[in-house]
Amino acid sequence: MRIATPDSVDVAELADVAARTFPLACPPSVSHANIASFVDANLSDARFTEYLADPRRLILTASQHDRIVGYAMLIQGVGDDPEVQQAVPVRPAVELSKMYVLPDNHGSGVATALMDAALAAAVDWDANCVWLGVNQKNHRAQRFYKKSGFTVNGTRTFQLGGHDEDDYVMVRPMGTA
């Protein structure tokens, strides 16, 4: 694991991995147009350049053969969404905003290593909890997050292109497994 840097190689690889993995987290009912819209707006080279310049964010990468095969993005805080505010009562909090691994690396331990590194970074930020949003239909991710100590503590609506999706807000207090 390593911290991503704003160099052009990391930015391009992160955007590529994001574009390839984000659709896998979406339910089959989500249109390709809405997925493409989200990727263009949130997972482009330009956006990763912004993310890497933001001191409230940290992007951790997992690599194999000198290529990024997965990443996790942490953001300090909870944000303004009232549903999330209610679901995440413990402060200070850190959001596990994104965590994706290329399909060829599923089951290889990459996701667990990324989660361990993300939780360690949250400890370094003195977080009392880590929270995330996960689509209510993404059962595989929910199982992984539960195994990592997260529990469902609320719901939120997530805008995906021109469509609203329903997410669970999962929370993990720090100091527990």
Give kind and range of the element (H or E) at residue 34: helix 32-42
3-state secondary structure of 144: helix
* pLDDT tens readout for residues 65-94: 999 999 999 999 999 999 999 999 999 999
Section 29-45 average pLDDT: 92
Question: 23-54 in b/e burial notation, b at 16+ Cβ within 10 A?
Answer: eebbeeebeeebbebbbeeebbeebbeebbee
Q: Tell me which amino acid residue 41 is.
A: A
Whether residue 8 is predicted with pLDDT greater than 90 in this model: the reply is: no
Q: Does the model's pTM come out above 0.85? A: yes
Domain spanning 2-173 has what CATH number? 3.40.630.30
Section 136-157 average pLDDT: 96
* pLDDT tens readout for residues 122-138: 999 999 999 999 999 99
Closest CA to 3 of 124, 142, 150: 124
Closest CA to 158 of 72, 84, 58: 84
Whether residue 177 is predicted with pLDDT greater than 90 in this model: the reply is: no
The ranges assigned to domains in the chain are: 2-173
Residues 77, 93 contacting (CB under 8 angstroms)? yes
What local confidence, expressed as pLDDT, does residue 176 receive?
52
